[in-house]
Amino acid sequence: MRKLLRVRMDSLSVSSDDLPEAWRCLGGRALTSTIVAAEVPAACHPLSAHNKVVIAPGLLSGTVAPCSGRISVGTKGPLTGTIKESNAGGIGAQAMGRLGLAAIVLEGAPADKNARYALHINAEGAELREAFELKGKGNYDTVAALHEACGDKVACISIGPAGELCLPTASVAVTDIDGRPTRHAGRGGTGAVVGSKGIKAIVLDPAGCDRPASHDAEGLKAASKRFAKQLQEHAVTGQALPMFGTNVLANLVNAAGAYPTRNFSDGVFEGVDAISGEAQRENVLARNGTPRHPCHPGCVIGCSSIYPDENGGFLSKGPEYETVWAHGANCGIDDLDAIAHMDRAEDDIGVDTIEMGATFGVAMEGGLLEFGDHEGVLRLLEEVRQGTPLGRILGSGAVVTGKCFGVSRIPCVKGQAMPAYDPRAIKGIGVTYATSTMGADHTAGYTIAQNVLAVGGSVDPLKPDGQAALSAALQQATAGIDSAGLCLFVAFCVLDVPDAGQNMLDMINAHIGTEWSPDDYAEVLCKATLRTERDFNRRAGFTAADDRLPSFFATEPLPPHDAVFDVTDEDLDSVHAGL
Ligand code: SF4
């Protein structure tokens, strides 16, 4: 029986119980959202003692299933005010799986706001330890100190200075396969809620623990083998992502005229060649970096890389497509090395790279910086780290920054900044931004697959027709993948290859002992999760009026297609009608 670990920060106590039977078949996002919706008052302030943080590995995490190392962090999000689930790769989920943990629930708040604690978990149990010496440290120094004290095999989950400052852009970092804090549950400010609980880090030591027991180990192994083969043979998961990483998308999205440039004022960036995935790979190879790097054992795709500095030393993990875009085209910056420095700084400070890049784009439009001023961005990031008044404004995200600098064009939905696809030129993703339970979030229903890549079908990105149905189907599919603990990139294969979806379901059934049909799976992990999240948001005060894009997307044509976002309100309101 998997365990539910409760950490009560008001009494500084820890208890472990069996996961309730009603939640036995839930994992990852399905479990975090279910617990948050059941236990957190929807109207509470996200930084109050009433909020909780639920950290859960996916159903398959820790098993032999390929790419199953995602870890979900759920809470009421400080950036959005909605329910929030943000997931990350790294080695934390597999460590939790081996430790037999279904979820860790952080609740209450410590009496001493200046105290810092680290939660240590191993095969013997769990304990809270004072960790004042970690106060104010960046994620890199935090993890180095924990490795020094606990050995370098442990998995670490941590927050940086931004989380301690309770800034709404704060992320939760998870160590990668090399023990670096490079994988982040970035979106929505989950790190701020962890910080409000006084927790600086969680140390997971699965030494002596086997993989989680499977109902049908041989069946899981066989389905995993079939699924891994399909991933390795697919053009996106077997070739494009391993070769160029996620930033392979830069040239593709730019060519589609949908690469948001200088705070969403153009769809084409003249400097894209210098920051593309192809250029990134050339830099990595020329400096003897690692062009392909999995973020956890068992990932057969390996979309990440190690990006060296000019002397060949480690600078950062290869910045993801979203990170490169947010600080590149969106800020008018065409310098990959500068962007890698920003990525490193943001991983260390512990902030969401998408929200921060969007925030700097808004700040540039507001006159705080010139577009293209990469030195200014790096300087201001240090203000975020230090918690200066300006740093706190920027660290509060694009909406707050836009208000402070008199900007009317703020590309956010439900308080959260849009990622790297302009919704006027890729209308399906605009539907997802508008109607996701999480605020603007590309991963919630990644229509780029059909709108741009023609994977799993093709829907014209410039026409409003069919976008609502596309987004609806993908939002449901994503909730299931997030709950299984699978990397979202497996969706390229699942959507495209006959039997891949069945193999994914076979892995789940074999591991947890269910006999789910595709409809059963869709009901329990996909639709029910979205219903739960939408009900929480309704109780928190959100209505259909919040499922809309900012008005400038409907009135300001985007070059080069001169497109506006013209999906009707009726279509937007239809997205979740089938739940
Ligand atoms: S494909 Fe990339 S993000 Fe997904 S698990 Fe592998 S390395 Fe991590």
Distance CA 87, CA 185 (A): 5
pLDDT value at position 63?
98
Percentage with pLDDT > 70 across the chain: 100
Summarised one tens digit per residue, pLDDT across range 552-571 is 999 999 999 999 999 999 99
pLDDT value at position 166?
98
pLDDT value at position 37?
98
Summarised one tens digit per residue, pLDDT across range 244-279 is 999 999 999 999 999 999 999 999 999 999 999 999
pLDDT value at position 210?
97
Span 287-297, average pLDDT: 95
For 383, counting Cβ atoms within 10 Å of its Cβ (0-12 exposed, 13-18 middle, 19+ buried), the class is: middle
- CATH number (1.10.1520.10, 1.10.599.10, 3.40.50.720, 3.50.50.60) of 216-244+423-579 reads 1.10.599.10
Summarised one tens digit per residue, pLDDT across range 124-169 is 999 999 999 999 999 999 999 999 999 999 999 999 999 999 999 9
Distance CA 473, CA 102 (A): 27
Q: What type of residue sits at position 428?
A: G
> Boundaries of CATH 1.10.569.10 in the chain?
262-420
pLDDT value at position 522?
97
C-alpha dihedral sign at 199, 201, 205, 206: positive
* Dist. CA 247 → ligand 1 center (Å): 13
Assess if CATH 3.60.9.10 describes domain 3-205: yes
pLDDT value at position 315?
98
Query: Which is the closest atom of ligand 1 to the Cα of 304?
Result: 7
Summarised one tens digit per residue, pLDDT across range 334-393 is 999 999 999 999 999 999 999 999 999 999 999 999 999 999 999 999 999 999 999 999
Summarised one tens digit per residue, pLDDT across range 441-494 is 999 999 999 999 999 999 999 999 999 999 999 999 999 999 999 999 999 999
Cα 439 to chain centroid, rounded: 12
pLDDT value at position 184?
98
User: Which residue among 231, 296, 299 has the greatest number of ligand 1 atoms within 8 angstroms of its CB, and so is best to mutate?
Assistant: 299
Residue ranges lining ligand 1, Cβ < 6 Å: 67, 89, 294-295, 299, 301-304, 487, 489
Parallel, antiparallel or unpaired: strands 125-130 and 117-122: antiparallel
**Ligand 1, atom 4: nearest CA belongs to which residue?**
487
User: Which residue among 237, 303, 305, 481 has the greatest number of ligand 1 atoms within 8 angstroms of its CB, and so is best to mutate?
Assistant: 303
Q: What is the DSSP string of 466-533?
A: THHHHHHHHHHHHHHHHHHT--TTHHHHHHHSTTHHHHHHHHHHHHHT----HHHHIIIIIIHHHHHH
pLDDT value at position 461?
98
Summarised one tens digit per residue, pLDDT across range 89-100 is 999 999 999 999
User: Which residue among 304, 305, 494 has the greatest number of ligand 1 atoms within 8 angstroms of its CB, and so is best to mutate?
Assistant: 304
* Dist. CA 97 → ligand 1 center (Å): 18
Query: Which is the closest atom of ligand 1 to the Cα of 70?
Result: 5
Q: What is the mean pLDDT of the chain?
A: 97
Decide if 260 contacts 420 (C-beta within 8 A). yes
Both structure tokens of 445: 């229903």
Assess if CATH 3.30.540.10 describes domain 262-420: no
> Boundaries of CATH 3.60.9.10 in the chain?
3-205
Query: Which is the closest atom of ligand 1 to the Cα of 487?
Result: 4
Summarised one tens digit per residue, pLDDT across range 384-432 is 999 999 999 999 999 999 999 999 999 999 999 999 999 999 999 999 9
Longest CA pairwise span in the chain (Å): 62
Q: How many C-beta atoms lie closer than 10 Å to residue 226's C-beta?
A: 16
